[in-house]
Structure 1
Amino acid sequence: MPRLFSAAPRRETLLYKNQSLNYTLVFRSRRTIGFAVKPDGSVHISAPAGTSPEWVAQQVLKKADWILKHLETFASRPAPLPTRRFEPGSTHYYQGRPYALRLAEARRLAVIIEADELVISAPAPISAAQTEALLHTWYARQAGAHFAESLERVWPRFAEFNLARPTLSVRHMRTRWGSCTPRTARIRLSPELMRARPECLDYVLLHECCHLLVGDHSKAFYDLQTRLMPDWVRWKDELNALPK
């Protein structure tokens, strides 16, 4: 079977509306020209074998507005959040402060903060998965007292409504920071909130407390949330910017 023609890719640059337009050009055994704009901002052109780079450049200029529109769309998208790692030296947060992870040998399992380090001690080497599990457990152990302190800060804002004080519990949740059951006035909060600043925790708790009055996410809900915490968007954005 004869091999299909495919020349080595070549880098090309055009000037369009005082803007440089860079693209990678490759000639293939095909009948039509193909255009592709990738999320990383690269432009790829596949042209029929036998055509010239000059002809391709003319086609690119005809398609330039379409290419630039897609480049602008990809550039405006937020960068993906970094993924947490669990090896020595990786960064982990506690109450909004970053700490370098250090693994140490000791007779008993322990997680402590020393200066700017988050130290996990164990009697034998542990895997990244074990490290992650130990950190989750440690966050959960710290959470109860801090959640109670947050309620002391947040609850006075609801005094005008004469509501029953909610009951708080710690619960691991994969996709949410918190949840509320208005009928029983029970609020569940993720121990992962211990990674964020107290203001972020207060925002989540206030959000769930607002559900005691408005069960959905209607305009009435957000009007209430904004009245009780005008700067809530700031804390929501900071919370959601934490590495996943």
Structure 2
Amino acid sequence: MPRSFAPAPRRETVVHQGQPLDYTLVFRARRTIGFAVRPDGTVHVSAPAGVPAAWVAQQVLKRADWIRQHLAEFAARPAPAPSRRYEAGAPHHYLGRPLALRLAEGPRPAVAATADELLVAYPAPHTPARTEAVLLAWYARQAPALFAAALARVWPVFDGLGLRRPTLYVRPMRTRWGSCTPTTARIRLSPDLVRAAPGCLDYVLLHECCHLQVPDHSAAFYALQTRLLPDWEHWKQELNALPK
């Protein structure tokens, strides 16, 4: 029995409020029409096989406001932060300052930050994986003192709330900057935060301290965070712009 093939996707355009709205149309074995707006700004429409393209265009116009809204939301999102590289000359951050990575041979792993360079030394051969391991271990060693200093800056704004002063822990995290257990007043912070400007570190620590008062991310939580740090959104954006 010969195999049947669905028609190839086709580019279509409708005019909505005087502006063209492009979309990719594909006919499939389905009963209803489906719409998808993707982060790259493309619009995809899946329609039941056999319906006229003109009917599909009418349905696109009916959903045009919804499509425009999602396109605007994707367009407003910040560009993804670049990835870190571990070869000589690559930019790396320490306390918010971008420094050029410099590799050197040394009898044992060592890292030093200068005005414009981050010097990483260890016995040859040099590889990106070994450089990364040495640098991340150095970040973890710097973290306790930097985090303690941040708590000394942040904690005074919580005076009068009757909260238990938290205990800080350094904990590598893949998907978050920090976490808090309100019942034990334990706050865990990623050593990667030493790459960020002190204001970013203070924002993350204040965010976690706010959970001592409000455990969830309710409106009450954000009201407290905004009262204690009115420009927290600025620091959040700066933090999220760091290379991953």
Under a length normalisation based on structure 2, what TM-score does the superposition of the two structures give?
0.72
**Cα offsets for 1:107-158 (capped at 9, x unmatched):** 4322333444434333224444433332321211111221122122123323
Match of residue 153 from structure 1 = 153
Alignment check: 8 A CA contact 1:35 1:45 kept = yes
- Write the deviation string for residues 82-108 of structure 1: whole angstroms up to 9, x where unpaired: 352334254432222233444444443
- State the number of aligned residues: 239
Match of 1:64 among 61, 73, 79: 61
- 1:73 aligned partner: 70
C-alpha spacing 1:140/1:6, structure 2 compared with 1 (3 Å): same
Deviates more, 1:81-90 or 1:31-40: 31-40
The 3 A distance-change label for structure 1 pair 203 and 29 is closer
Contact 2:182–2:215 (Cα < 8 Å) also in 1: no
The answer on whether the counterparts of 2:47 and 2:56 sit within 8 Å (CA) in structure 1 is no
Give the equivalent residue in structure 1 for 2:193.
193
1:171 aligns with 2:168: no
Which residue matches 2:108? Answer: 108
Q: CA deviation at 1:165?
A: 4.5
Contact 2:203 2:235 in 1 (8 A): yes
Decide whether aligned partners of structure 1 residues 121 and 65 sit closer, same or farther in structure 2, where only a CA change above 3 A counts: farther
CA RMSD of aligned residues (A): 3.8
Contact preservation (8 Å) 2:171, 2:189:
yes
Report if aligned partners of 2:81, 2:241 keep a CA contact under 8 Å in 1: no
Flag the structure with larger Rg. Answer: 1
CA contact (8 A) 1:108 1:123 kept: yes
Question: Secondary structure at 1:82's aligned position in 2?
Answer: coil
* Equivalent in the alignment of 2:124: 124
Aligned to 2:235: 235
Contact 2:14 2:21 in 1 (8 A): yes
Partner of 1:41: 41
3-state SS of paired residue (2:160): helix
Residues 75/117 of structure 1: CA separation in 2 closer, same or farther (3 Å cut): farther
Which amino acid in the other structure matches residue 122 of structure 2? A
| CA deviation map 1:29-56 (0-9, x unaligned) | 97989765451223456789999xxx63
Runs (5+) with no aligned partner, structure 1:
none
SS of 1:174's partner is coil
Between the aligned partners of 1:119 and 1:187, the Cα distance in structure 2 is 31
Q: % of aligned pairs identical?
A: 56
Read off the aligned partner of 2:85 and give its amino acid letter.
F
What displacement does 1:215 show?
5.1
> Take 1:47 and 1:210, find their aligned partners in 2: how far apart are those partners?
49
Q: Secondary structure at the match of 1:22?
A: strand
Which residue of structure 1 lines up, in the alignment, with residue 95 of structure 2? 95
Q: Contact 2:84–2:243 (CA<8 Å) still a contact in 1?
A: no
